[in-house]
Every structure is written in C-alpha cells, then in structure tokens.
Amino acid sequence: SLQLVDRAIKNTIKRSDISSKLPNSIQMLSFLKRAAPESEEVSRAAEIFETTCHIIKKNIYQKHKRSINTTDFLTNDELQNIAAISGCHSHLQPPICQKSCLINKYRTITGACNNRKNLRWGASNTALARWLPAEYEDGFSQPKGWNPGHVYNGFELPSVREVSKALFQSFNQSSTEDSIYSLDCRNTCENLNPCFPIKIPVNDSFSALRTCLPFYRSSPACGTGYGDILSDTVKMSNKRQQINGLSSFIDASTVYGGTVSVESKIRNLTNKEGLLNVNKKFQDNGREFLPFVAEVPSPCAQDPLDNNGERTDCFLAGDSRSSEVLSLTTLHTIWLREHNRIAKALKKINNHWSAETVYQETRKIIGALHQIITLRDYVPKIIGSDAFDHYIGKYKAYNPLLDPTVSNVFSTAAFRFGHATVPPVLKRLDNMFEEKQNYSSVRLHEAFFSPWRLIKEGGLDPVIRGILVQPANVIDQDNLMTDELTEKLFVFNATGTFDLASLNLQRGRDHGLPGYNDWREFCGLHRLNTEGDLSTAISNANLIKKLLEIYKHPSNIDVWLGGLVEDILPRGRTGPLFACLIGKQMHALRDGDRFWWENEGIFTESQRSELAKHSLSRVMCDNSGVNEVPGDSFLLSQYPKDFISCDIISSMNLNVWKESNVQVGVCGSPREIENGDYTFCPNSSHEVVSYSCFAGYRLEGHEEITCTKSGWSHDPPVCCTISNPVRPCHTQCKSLNLTLTVLSPAFWSVPPSPNHTTKLVSLPSCRPSLSLLLITVCHKVLYS
C-alpha cells in the first residue's frame, strides 16, 4: 500500500508541476481556480487516496482478469492506513471550535462552527451539498459522457461543444492556432482521470488544429468516489463529491478569504487600525488599489505598449478570481476600500479597540452589507418577487436544523445563469458619462485578467460609471451567450481560447448532475417529456427543435442548459427552475446562518437600522471619485435622468458602534474582555474583569471556566482572556461567580506556575444599562 501511495503522490505532484508551467488560457484557468494552500492540501489528499485505490484496482484486475471491489481485497485497517497516509483522515475530523466568547461573536474565517451541532456545515473545503444523488456512469465516479456507447433514455449524450455550437453560437469565426495543448490533459483526447477532454466536432472554429479542449475534473472530496471504502467511523458517501474551497455563507469571504492562509495575506497585521493590505506601488487618484499577489510573475496580461518592463501582476483579494475581468476587479477594490474606510472610522470612535477588534467588527459590518445587498437588492430582481416570496420570504429567525452548505447544482448549474447575462463590451465612461477619450470601452476578452488597464488606463471611476449605465444582457433564447465567452475566453496574444458554455456543461457531467427533468421534479415542476410539453416552458419553437435534435430526449438535457432556456419569470431574470434552485439556496444561506445580520443578538437594533440604510450605491460613492449614482445601482439607469448626488444617498451612522464608559485595564484593551470575558495576567499584580451588560446578554449564576491554550494570547501567557458563554438576555445582568481552571502546564513551552487553579472574585451585579461596567480589583491567588 505504501508504495502505491507513494506512486499516487508522485502522480499528483507531476500534475501540479505541469500545471504551474502552463501559459495562457490553461494557466489563466488554473489561476482562476487557484486554491488556498488548505484547499490544495485537501484536494491533493483526496486525489492521492483516489489514485491509490485506482492503482490497486488496476493491479488486481490485471492479476485476476475480473473486477474486484477494493474492499474485497484490502482489510479495513489497510484502507484506513491509505486514508491516513494520503492525508484524508485529518480532513474528515471535525474542526476544533474555540471555547471562547469570540465563537459567538464573530464568524470563523472558514465558516466552521457556525452551526453548533454540525460544525462543518457551510465551511470551506468541505463537500458541496447534494440535493439529488449524483449520477455517475459506473455508479460512483465516472462522469456522464465518459464511456462511448453509454446511453441515457436510449441515446448517447451529445458532445458539449456540439451543444454549445448549436445553441450558443450564431457565427463562424476563425480561431488562431493554439500551440499550448501539449502536456498532461492537453496531450490526450482520451478520458483518462483527471482528464475529461471536450471533444471538438468537425467544422468547428476550434477544429482546425485540435480535436479536443482540455478539461480537468474537479477533485473529489476525501473518501468519496470509491465505494464503501472507509471504516464506519469515517464512512463517507459512496459517490464522488466535489469540494467547495470557499465558505458557503454570504460572509464577504470574497474580501477576506475563506481560509486562514488567505486571510493572513489579505490583512495588514502591522497597523493598529485593523486594515487590509493595499497596493504599495500604485494608487488611483489617491485611493487604494488591491495589492498584487505575492507569487510573481503572475499570469496576468501586461500592457503591450509598455516597453519598460514594469509588471502589473494579478491582484490579491479574498477570492482568486478577482482579476478575472475589470468590472469584477473594480468591485473587489471598492470593498477593500470600504473595509479600510469603516475600520478607520471605528478606530476613531473607539480608540481603545485593538487592531483585532477593529478588524473583526469591520469584517462583521462588511459581511452584513454583503448580505443586505445580495438578499434585499439583488436576488429579488433575479428570481422575481413571486419566487422570492415563495422560496425565501421574510426573515423570521435562525434555523439551526437547516444546512446552509452550497449545493452542487447551485454552483455547477443554477447560479451560472449569470454567464448568459454578461454583455460583450465593458464600458468605460468619463465624468460626463460619455465614452472616455483616452481609454474607451473594451471588448470583454480585452478585459480578462488585465489589472494593468485599471492601473494605467484611468482607474476605477470610468469602469464604475460604465457598470452603472450598462444593461446586463437579458437571457435571450436566440442568442444565449456572447461570443466573447464562448469563443474568446481568456485570449491573450491570440494563443488560446476556451468556451464557457462547454465548460459549464462538461462540469455538470463531471459532477454527475442529474438531468433537466429530474431537477424540475425536485422543484415540484412538471417533467417535460415531449415537444409539446417543452413548449409550455420554452416559447421559442426553433430552440426546442434544436434541443431535441441534439439531445433526442428532454430528460437528457443538461440542467444548466435546460434551466437557462426556460421562459423568464415575470419581474425576474431566470425561468422557474433556476428561480427555485437559487431561491432554495438563498433561503438556506439566510436561515441556516447563525450570524445572519438580522438574527437576534448579532447586532443591536440601532446597528441593524443603520446597516439597512447602506447600499451598493453608497459604497461606490464612499470609495471612488464618482459623485452621482442611481439610488439603486442594480436598476438600469440613464444619465443624468436617473442619477442623484451622492450627498443625498443615505448612509449608516457608525456612532451606534460606540462603546462608552471604557477604562483601559492593565491587561490591555477592555474591548477584548467585554461580554463577560475575564482577563487575567499571571505576571501582573492586577487582574481585570470587564463586564458588559449590553442588550442581548445576561450573565448569571455560577460558571466553571476552563482556560485552554486557545484562550491565551501568548505563550507563555502574558494575559489570558477567557470568555464566559453568553446567553440570551431578557432584562439585565446579574452577578456571576467565576471559577477558573488553568489546564496542565504541558500547554506551554514555559509553564506558568505549578499552581493551576484559582477561585476568582464574585462579581457584583452589573448595572442594568447598556454601558460597559468595568470591575478591576481582584487578588492574585494564582501564583501565591
């Protein structure tokens, strides 16, 4: 087994070595999907595990000339061993949730521990949820369309590129030679894990030089895809599942990242204001740009006219796709600026806050704004108000039984409806909202991975104005997606092109998504079995003809395509199937999120009412040179008719985040010890207990507190903040006895003292006020 694991590791390493040298389109695509180190580790472990099992199976087959289940051949211990050596075991263990009040106060960066019972629900690097079981050709792993001759409802699935050509393209453009497909998945047109190439039909604009487009399968989640292979304790679903590298929640992880390693690159850990890092080399009329990624040279396009060789690398943000297209980069940048703007304002209001507190409080506000803008301003316009009321409705309360994890069908099909709404041109306008003279609008393919255009061609403002006046494409049954995405995806120097429609379809098959009709049934919609049935959902007869010509059977239609071509719902931008899938997902993301901004106890009432005054238009006003915006930036607006001055766009008043009556104790900022947290400093003669009685919390009775290492700020400890579990408050705080138990000195490299237990002061009643009550004075029993 060990040898096999070793071989599997080498294979996996070989694959990642190769991909790091790839130029152009493939390189861009892999950069786009570049995972945080934590995500890479999980994928790698899963791939090693999978490859090992695959090699074992192959060897067994060669010897016995018949297929044998891995479990028939290996003992459970051996399988466990493979799981352990591959690294899969550790990823299947539940996360450790901090035993500190912070766990109730701020969400973790990965999203873990949000649900108190199911700690991994919604966390990054866990499997996407399945709302319908996956369908694989071998029952557990092979994508749909993998085996020639495999039929569905009596027919083979058409090649995805054929579908794309027939339904998405209405032109005959030539494509320039592509010389890059020569390595690994690029030098095979066979289905060989992890390659699942996209066959190119004859007479295709791509066909002159290649017979297939390379495609890498999504990595499996650890322990999935190979049957009943792990022991009972870590039993995983039999079928292959795919990993979500980001957290599921609407938590602004696009700004902060979904893993500790990304967050640590994004944060500026040297200042006291809890800021995010900004670009040190370039500025946009005095405003910040995103920093560049650390790994240079990155594969982003360079200014073709710059002969000085000064590079503009890809930008770094919480999501690896931030440089993908200029409009997306622009939004990432204004959110970075918004964080730094709010953080500076909060620090001014609460000067005693530590950098950590400022950062976390700002992150919490930015997360809330993302939730408000998404659910209040965006989603109803996408799925229509009726579907919104039906699937989502008004917020009532947090539902701990609802799994918020993003579903496979949402990410692989439904939310990709957006690809059909992308216009072919990215507008850039001057302050009169006219075509900018120096740097005019660009075709979309000229805006892919081109941060240099923001830096050298007039900054964010022209792009923001363009976004505000340019309509999104309405999904059009005759013209489903712009050629810029189906023929020119990631074209640099005309050496490589992709087709986003084919990628979406092939991804759905890679993930074993059930077909269109199964999803309709899942949503309580009729199955459409005949041409007549189809005409009840799709009014374009020509399109139905084409669909049936290609797929032969309506149930074989790939779900992304089927959902995309349905007639749009009134006041919406999607048909009923996508409205259902997006609606259900948004509902789960809202009601299954303990930190949802409207959930009781997350913000105070006055904070909630201030947050609700904010909007994307306000964020644009506050973080760019644009000073006229539409009231609702999601509504198509004409300049100047629909624009109003930023002076009258409402904004939130951050003063409601002010903490009063604060005294700074010997152990540092009292903000860290509020809400019943108790801080003590073994090396000081004073201990500080700070007590906050603000609405939403009541502390009473006797608490036993165990201080674990994670509760200590230093090693060996200088100060320790231990949090008291907070409980819902009804009226006011009462007194509290704290018993502190310090765990064994083995936790510290330099043990603090042989005496590890202390009985702590009993606190006098807190005042029934919203202010912070600081109680100092306590005797030092710990080291006496």
**CA 426, 428, 433, 437 torsion-angle sign:** negative
Terminal CA-CA length for the chain: 56
**CA separation for the pair 158, 145 (Å, rounded):** 8
- In the complex with ligand HEM, the residue whose CB is nearer, 466 or 670, is 466
- In the complex with ligand HEM, the residue whose CB is nearer, 448 or 595, is 448
Q: Which of 416, 453, 465, 618 binds ligand HEM (CB under 6 A)?
A: 416
Write down the least CB distance from residue 418 to ligand HEM, Å. Answer: 2
How many Cα neighbours within 13 Å face the side chain of 648?
6
Max CA separation in the chain (angstroms): 87
Q: Which stretch binds ligand HEM (CB under 6 A): 361-369, 419-427, 690-698, 721-729?
A: 419-427
CA distances from 389 to 384, 393, 589 (A): 9, 4, 16
**CA separation for the pair 227, 666 (Å, rounded):** 58
- In the complex with ligand HEM, the residue whose CB is nearer, 32 or 317, is 32
The three state secondary structure string of 289-352 is CCCECCCCCCCCCCCCCCCCCCCCCCECCCCCCCCCEHHHHHHHHHHHHHHHHHHHHHHHHCCC
Q: Which stretch binds ligand HEM (CB under 6 A): 335-343, 393-401, 411-419, 670-678?
A: 411-419
Number of H helices, E strands in the chain: 26, 19
- In the complex with ligand HEM, the residue whose CB is nearer, 120 or 507, is 507
Q: Which of 418, 640, 725, 768 binds ligand HEM (CB under 6 A)?
A: 418
Scan residues 27-66 and list those touching ligand HEM (CB under 6 A): 32
**CA separation for the pair 773, 19 (Å, rounded):** 58
Write down the least CB distance from residue 526 to ligand HEM, Å. Answer: 26
**CA separation for the pair 60, 78 (Å, rounded):** 15
- Least Cα distance to 256 among 313, 339, 369 occurs for 339
- In the complex with ligand HEM, the residue whose CB is nearer, 398 or 417, is 417
Q: Which of 125, 411, 502, 555 binds ligand HEM (CB under 6 A)?
A: 411
Q: Is 481 exposed, middle or buried (0-12, 13-18, 19+ CB in 10 A)?
A: buried
**CA separation for the pair 646, 414 (Å, rounded):** 35
* Strands of 192-277, DSSP E: 198-199, 212-213, 243-244
Write down the least CB distance from residue 189 to ligand HEM, Å. Answer: 18
Q: Which of 325, 336, 538, 652 binds ligand HEM (CB under 6 A)?
A: 325
Write down the least CB distance from residue 245 to ligand HEM, Å. Answer: 7
- In the complex with ligand HEM, the residue whose CB is nearer, 85 or 325, is 325
The 436-465 site mask, x for binding ligand HEM (CB under 6 A), equals --------x---------------------
3-state helix, strand, coil in the chain (%, to 5): 40, 10, 50
Q: Which of 358, 503, 505, 707 binds ligand HEM (CB under 6 A)?
A: 503
Write down the least CB distance from residue 414 to ligand HEM, Å. Answer: 8
- In the complex with ligand HEM, the residue whose CB is nearer, 81 or 421, is 421
Q: Which of 184, 324, 598, 628 binds ligand HEM (CB under 6 A)?
A: 324
- Which amino acid, one-letter code, is at 479? N
Using rule CB under 6 A, residue 560 touches ligand HEM: no
- Least Cα distance to 478 among 576, 544, 532, 416 occurs for 544
Query: What is the token pair recorded at 329?
Result: 């980069």
Write down the least CB distance from residue 524 to ligand HEM, Å. Answer: 23
**CA separation for the pair 51, 43 (Å, rounded):** 12
Length, in residues, of the chain: 784
**CA separation for the pair 286, 269 (Å, rounded):** 22
Q: Does the annotation list 390 as a binding residue?
A: no
The 747-776 site mask, x for binding ligand HEM (CB under 6 A), equals ------------------------------
- In the complex with ligand HEM, the residue whose CB is nearer, 89 or 165, is 165
Using rule CB under 6 A, residue 146 touches ligand HEM: no
Q: Which of 54, 419, 453, 587 binds ligand HEM (CB under 6 A)?
A: 419
Write down the least CB distance from residue 485 to ligand HEM, Å. Answer: 6
- In the complex with ligand HEM, the residue whose CB is nearer, 53 or 372, is 372
Pairing mode of beta strands 736-742, 643-645: unpaired
Q: Which stretch binds ligand HEM (CB under 6 A): 306-314, 409-417, 591-599, 728-736?
A: 409-417
- In the complex with ligand HEM, the residue whose CB is nearer, 193 or 721, is 193
Scan residues 671-730 and list those touching ligand HEM (CB under 6 A): none
Total binding residues toward ligand HEM, as defined by CB under 6 A: 15
How many Cα neighbours within 13 Å face the side chain of 92?
22
Q: Which of 163, 500, 528, 544 binds ligand HEM (CB under 6 A)?
A: 500
Scan residues 175-234 and list those touching ligand HEM (CB under 6 A): none
- In the complex with ligand HEM, the residue whose CB is nearer, 248 or 312, is 248
- In the complex with ligand HEM, the residue whose CB is nearer, 32 or 129, is 32
Q: Is 58 exposed, middle or buried (0-12, 13-18, 19+ CB in 10 A)?
A: exposed
Q: Which residue is nearest to ligand HEM (CB)?
A: 418
Write down the least CB distance from residue 419 to ligand HEM, Å. Answer: 5
Using rule CB under 6 A, residue 422 touches ligand HEM: yes
- In the complex with ligand HEM, the residue whose CB is nearer, 252 or 485, is 485
What is residue 210's three-state secondary structure? Answer: coil
How many Cα neighbours within 13 Å face the side chain of 461?
20
**CA 24, 27, 29, 34 torsion-angle sign:** negative
Q: Which of 181, 415, 452, 578 binds ligand HEM (CB under 6 A)?
A: 415
Tell me if the bond preceding 291 is cis, omega within 30° of 0: no
Residues that bind ligand HEM (CB under 6 A): 32, 324-325, 411, 415-416, 418-419, 421-422, 444, 485, 500, 503, 507
Annotated binding-site positions: 419
Residue numbers belonging to the annotated binding site for heme b: 419
